[in-house]
Amino acid sequence: MELRNTVVIPKVISREVSTMHIGFDLDKVFVDYPPLIPTWLIDFLYRNHRSKRLVYRIPGVIEQKLRKASHYPSLRPALRENIAFLQRLASAKKHRLSLVSSRFSFLKQETEELIKRLHLDTYFSVLQFNFEDMQPHEFKLKTLKSLGITHYVDDDLALLEYLGKKLPRVTFFWLNPRIKAKISDNIFAVTSLSHIPHD
C-alpha cells in the first residue's frame, strides 16, 4: 500500500498558512491624535520615563479629565485611508480581524462612542480593550496570545519590540509615517496598511 500518495494535504496546509488572524491597535491606526499637539509629546506623556523598563503611566484625575476632553469626536479624526483598507480586508473575508486597544477604563464611554461612530464593530470578530487597566504591553501580550493573533499592527515601536521578543512566531508591523524596512526577524516598519501582505 502506497500511503504517501493517499495523503493529499498540501491544499489544506496552504489555506491554513494563508489565513491570518490580524490584530490592529486603535489610536494612530484608525483614529488620529488631536490636531496641533505634536505626536511625540502625546507619546512621551503616555510613558513613565523614570523606569528603564517599558512602563506606561495611568494618568491622575486632572489629566484624565483633560484626556477625556481631548476625546471629543472632532479632536479625534478618523484615519480614512486606513479604515477604507480595513473595509476592503473585511469584505474579502479571507482573514480574521480583531481590534486590540490598550485604552484605559477611564475612556470606556468615549471609546464605545468612537467605535459606534466609525462602525468599527462591523469589521472585527473581536474588539478587546484594556478596561481592567493593565500595563498596555502586558495587556497586549496576554490578549494576542489568548486570541491566537498571527499578525499585529501598532504605531508604538517600543511596545512592538517587547512583544516581538515574547511572541517570536507572531509577525508585527510598525505603522509609522516615514520608515519602510525590516526592523528585526519579526518586526517590519510600514508606512501604509496596504504594505501588509494580505492576499
Interacting residues with Mg ion (CB under 5 A): 25, 27-28, 155
Pick 27 or 110: Cβ nearer Mg ion:
27
Nearer CB in complex with Mg ion: 92/112? 112
Query: What is the distance between the alpha carbons of residues 59 and 44, in angstroms, rounded to a whole number?
Result: 13
Rounded least distance, CB 174 to Mg ion, Å? 11
Closest residue (Cβ) to Mg ion?
Answer: 27
Contacts for 82 with CB less than 8 Å, ≥ 6 apart: 29, 30, 193
Amino acid identity, position 54? L
Quote the least distance from Cβ 59 to Mg ion, whole Å: 16
Residue 16 C-beta: closest distance to Mg ion, Å: 30
Rounded CA-CA distance 81/190 in Å is: 14
- Quote the longest CA-to-CA distance of the chain: 76
Q: Give the span between the Cα atoms of 184 and 166, in whole angstroms.
A: 13
State which residue, 156 or 170, has the beta carbon closest to Mg ion.
156
The smaller minimum CB distance to Mg ion, of residues 110 and 155, is found at: 155
